[in-house]
Structure 1
């Protein structure tokens, strides 16, 4: 996803912009990368950089990258080739021109640092996800008069403490929604996942800094905030803990029932995710709260209770299953069985009858058999997720799977199984969405609808009736402008109380709704 010329949040370039101080930023990958780019904008604005109107006019081109799958990296290589051609074209016109300084930020920078800077010579700067404060110095090095062409600068050191808590991100002007990073890194070390290797170990922002930022967003008119982290619901703020650091000894009861973890982070005395949700939700009851990306193990009962008890915490839960097979989950080091995952879904619907669930699913993981694949298909059908991110397994260097397991499912088999998983998802989602027709939802407008019959603007809450449904979309007509509180008073939730929940398929009995 590329940031457009009016959305960078940096001051616009002018004829008097400082020489070498115009920058073009592109963001690829997850929501955390989007939030990180907003931190980069703030750092660069503080160093006097202004926004370029296009890469062709920029003194500096920075690409914030994703390395989670091979396909994501392929897109970045293509863009870097484009920027190299741009640099060569500029130098062809003026042999003294240095061309734009090109930098790679984020996960791909961390993973391929030597290849990017030394072997391929596509970039001038490589900065890992914990090195963004250092960007002005790196730019100063490669833009210096004494710096020979082809000389690069790099900082990919991972930190056990960096959270950027003291940096106010530069967000798009007038946005009704915002991302807010609450923790960084991950300690799960699932066998297929590269995140701990490129993002470092998990660490959490102090609660007070998060609440202050939420309050500022509320005052700026933001109506929805999404809390971010690589393992967001493992949040644990120890900054106010008076106990001296000690080896983690807390039992696995901190996790959802039936779930385990390969590591035992310290939790004694910490502010944990359930309390964080309660405190953030209380800042502004007209501001909706979401969070991503979580791990199923951290949906403990206190987290589910916080979601259920706070109407402005959205009842959409992302619960990445990754597989429906217990044996595959064991090879993935996920820390749970299929039975434990099914039991968690039942508890979700007991706490939150109207919950809407999404998931991640990997097909064709190392050694996956047809029987194991069938288990995944059965989960897709019975869970009927509202949304699913489905991918064929892509081996990543440095991971446990890459070191210890053969990637032995043929590409054609992976493709066929992925098609079957997608078909199972689409069939269940189509049936569920068809049942939405005629129901009323609370909708937050990101922009005025084309045909509303009333005057509406971005940031308005609207009661809207669903009139048509597709596999992954609903069409609704606005009934009336409202507030979150008014809608909750009528329906009991930010989702209608009369909405038939999917919990019945898990044996969850619900009281009659008005």
Structure 2
């Protein structure tokens, strides 16, 4: 899973964000109740908020970008670290003031924090009226109704079937160019440090027809890039006739081939790539134990599948990896990196996750993480100190015995090493022409535009007459550790 909010990140896209649904004046003019959503955490949470918005719109709610105008406020939460939960609790303190001014305001906690704490959350945070886990979003209108009658409303049931395949998401605060498409839910990996299997349930894949149809619809609406999302996309598997895996009644896109009786991730990737050459495909996240040569060869065959893979290592030491229950060791991981470079070339963008200070980690084992980074030379990384999460296998089996100052010192060393590698990898592009999909204005100046290249690196260049949604060729002339800069040619 790709983490976002409280991590130290070296990457081109600023992921520390909150969804702010746009206000539709037409919707508000006809007197609908208004919904405000904030999203925290991984990309899956942002995609889930778009499903929630669709469910609520079907129940008669409009979205608003102003919490003060809302009749219902939802915080879609993350539980991957204590920091993530504390951010939500801090936000609730601000919302208390809104509720004093507007007593009928409904406040809901959605997502992983809701699933982890369940009814305990209602006891700890009196401002909360609604608690809904990741598989309960269809039930939210009923929960809002219950809360409106003065009850505390809770649904944290985890499903083995729910994929929301039949719900067309409302794209919140969209740039109209890029979009997330969820292809599966849950996780079966049981990494010892991770709470996700307990907050998102068992792994289940979504019907490929519905995925292709959603991507086709996005392309028809003018979107030019989709990111296929899952906790572990490489274990995607759909067997025709397996109703327990999700909704299976959607018609396939007329521009794509029918899936085989069993569709794996390589098959799905190809079907989405065949929609149109101008639709870029990304995906996240891959697990080293599951990514196959078939996936890599599919990427190599299609120019519109981006030459970039997020392949979390977590540690460079085999003993620690075993304690983490990652099911691979250091040599296995290195062999996957070698295979990626062999099939996709040295320019393939590779990013990772690294944890410092996992239980019992020695200084020598920390150095092995640094040496793995030296071997791979990642383009960027998500890096953070180990944070014990209640209920995980690590919390039950191991003592969190590395002092915080040592965790943080090791994390600082990891960050410094990655910063050097990121700069080095970016320097490779100076003098090269990059094919860039324009996403919109640069954050620093409206005179510049920005977009990402094939390797998921942000490229900034003068605006000229170009518009978002266009592809341009940019000659890279300079770089930082996070950004490429150049001129359109």
TM-score range, shorter chain: 0.7 to 0.9
Question: What SS does the aligned partner of 2:440 have?
Answer: coil
| Contact 2:440 2:467 survives alignment (8 Å) | yes
- The offset of 1:448, in angstroms, is 5.2
- The offset of 1:128, in angstroms, is 0.3
Name the counterpart of 1:187.
Answer: 188
- 1:17 pairs with one of 31, 36, 49: 31
- Relative distance call for 1:78 and 1:12 in structure 2 (3 A) is farther
Question: What SS does the aligned partner of 1:465 have?
Answer: strand
Question: What SS does the aligned partner of 1:378 have?
Answer: helix
| Contact 2:146 2:153 survives alignment (8 Å) | yes
- Cα separation, 2, equivalents of 1:382 and 1:154: 48
- Cα separation, 2, equivalents of 1:107 and 1:28: 10
- Cα separation, 1, equivalents of 2:374 and 2:404: 24
| Contact 1:392 1:418 survives alignment (8 Å) | yes
Radius of gyration: which is bigger? 1
Name the counterpart of 1:261.
Answer: none
Question: What SS does the aligned partner of 2:223 have?
Answer: coil
- Relative distance call for 1:279 and 1:453 in structure 2 (3 A) is closer
Give the alignment's TM-score, normalised by structure 1.
0.82
| Contact 1:25 1:61 survives alignment (8 Å) | yes
Name the counterpart of 1:177.
Answer: 178
| Contact 2:227 2:281 survives alignment (8 Å) | yes
- The offset of 1:460, in angstroms, is 0.4
Counterpart check, 1:333 vs 2:325: yes
- The offset of 1:81, in angstroms, is 1.2
- Cα separation, 1, equivalents of 2:287 and 2:125: 36
- 1:382 pairs with one of 340, 359, 375: 375
Name the counterpart of 1:249.
Answer: none
- Relative distance call for 1:75 and 1:12 in structure 2 (3 A) is farther
Counterpart check, 1:76 vs 2:88: yes
| Contact 2:475 2:486 survives alignment (8 Å) | yes
| Contact 2:104 2:148 survives alignment (8 Å) | no
- Relative distance call for 1:134 and 1:286 in structure 2 (3 A) is same
Question: What SS does the aligned partner of 1:303 have?
Answer: helix
- The offset of 1:118, in angstroms, is 2.4
- Relative distance call for 1:393 and 1:47 in structure 2 (3 A) is same
Question: What SS does the aligned partner of 2:282 have?
Answer: strand
Counterpart check, 1:52 vs 2:64: yes
Question: What SS does the aligned partner of 1:374 have?
Answer: helix
Name the counterpart of 1:392.
Answer: 385
- Cα separation, 2, equivalents of 1:204 and 1:71: 30
Name the counterpart of 1:30.
Answer: 42
- Cα separation, 1, equivalents of 2:265 and 2:354: 24
Name the counterpart of 1:165.
Answer: 165
Counterpart check, 1:3 vs 2:19: yes
1:380-459 residue pairs with structure 2 within 5 A? Answer: 380-447=373-440, 450-451=447-448, 452=462, 454-459=464-469
Give the aligned CA root-mean-square deviation in angstroms.
1.9
- 1:357 pairs with one of 339, 350, 355: 350
- Cα separation, 2, equivalents of 1:272 and 1:193: 25
Name the counterpart of 2:478.
Answer: 468
Name the counterpart of 1:206.
Answer: 207
Give the alignment's TM-score, normalised by structure 2.
0.87
Name the counterpart of 2:297.
Answer: 305
- 2:276 pairs with one of 262, 280, 284: 284
- Cα separation, 2, equivalents of 1:158 and 1:4: 27
Counterpart check, 1:270 vs 2:262: yes
Name the counterpart of 1:104.
Answer: 109
Listed one character per residue, the Cα deviations across residues 418-475 of structure 1 (whole Å, up to 9, x for unaligned) are 0011111112222222222111110000125625374110100000011111112111
- Cα separation, 1, equivalents of 2:65 and 2:281: 33
- The offset of 1:330, in angstroms, is 0.5
- Relative distance call for 1:300 and 1:217 in structure 2 (3 A) is same
Question: What SS does the aligned partner of 1:336 have?
Answer: coil
Question: What SS does the aligned partner of 2:192 have?
Answer: coil
Higher relative contact order (CA 8 A, sep 6+): 2
- The offset of 1:116, in angstroms, is 1.3
- Cα separation, 2, equivalents of 1:289 and 1:433: 22
| Contact 2:20 2:64 survives alignment (8 Å) | no
Q: How many residues align?
A: 440
- The offset of 1:308, in angstroms, is 1.1
| Contact 2:175 2:440 survives alignment (8 Å) | no
- The offset of 1:241, in angstroms, is 6.2
